[in-house]
């Protein structure tokens, strides 16, 4: 399911299972629109913590709550925003570059897997919301 205004997509990776358990497969350029260059995960964040609070100039992301649950607020700086609840290990959200993101409301057992299209570069992060607004609105 795609949100056209924000260019954000829910990705369903499916699940295969039998008496041994379940497996979910996520392949770059097939299940997600890029080959991940960086993988990290967020865990042991309390319910009151807000992570992210930034936009990226180049990096696209896919976020998957592989355990527990969390919420992701997405804003485009033009008045469009949406909140997604991530609570299934076989479902993720694709977030393109130049979109503001905030992750919050983590359950105690939450493990939020983050796949990034680019290697870490602190200079491509916009951590100030007013600076982000200026960048997306051409000011």
Among candidate residues 38, 54, 57, 88, the one labeled active-site is 54
Quote the pTM value: 0.89
Of 17-21, 72-76, 87-91, 110-114, the one with minimum mean pLDDT is: 17-21
In 3D space, the residue among 87, 95, 94, 83 whose CA is nearest the CA of residue 112 turns out to be 87
Structural domain including 19 reads 2-136
pLDDT band for position 72 (cuts 50, 70, 90)? very high
pLDDT band for position 9 (cuts 50, 70, 90)? confident
Q: Which residues pair with 22 in a beta bridge?
A: 17
* pLDDT tens string 45-63: 999 999 999 999 999 999 9
Is 97 known to be catalytic?
no
- How many domains, in total, are found in the chain? 1
Indicate the average pLDDT of the chain.
92
Q: Output the domain CATH number for residue 29.
A: 2.60.120.10
In 3D space, the residue among 59, 52, 79 whose CA is nearest the CA of residue 133 turns out to be 79
């Amino acid at each position: 399911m795609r949100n056209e205004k924000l260019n954000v997509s829910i990705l369903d990776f499916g699940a295969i299972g039998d008496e041994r358990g379940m497996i979910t497969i996520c392949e770059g350029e097939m299940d997600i629109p890029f080959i991940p260059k960086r993988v990290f995960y967020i865990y042991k964040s309390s319910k009151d913590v807000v992570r992210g609070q930034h936009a990226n100039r180049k990096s696209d992301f896919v976020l998957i709550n592989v355990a527990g649950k969390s919420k992701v607020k997405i804003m485009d700086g033009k008045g469009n925003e949406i909140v997604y609840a991530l609570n299934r290990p076989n479902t993720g959200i694709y977030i393109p570059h130049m979109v503001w993101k905030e992750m919050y409301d983590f359950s105690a057992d939450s493990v939020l897997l983050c796949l990034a299209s680019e290697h870490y570069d602190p200079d491509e992060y916009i951590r100030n919301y007013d600076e982000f607004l200026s960048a997306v609105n051409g000011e």
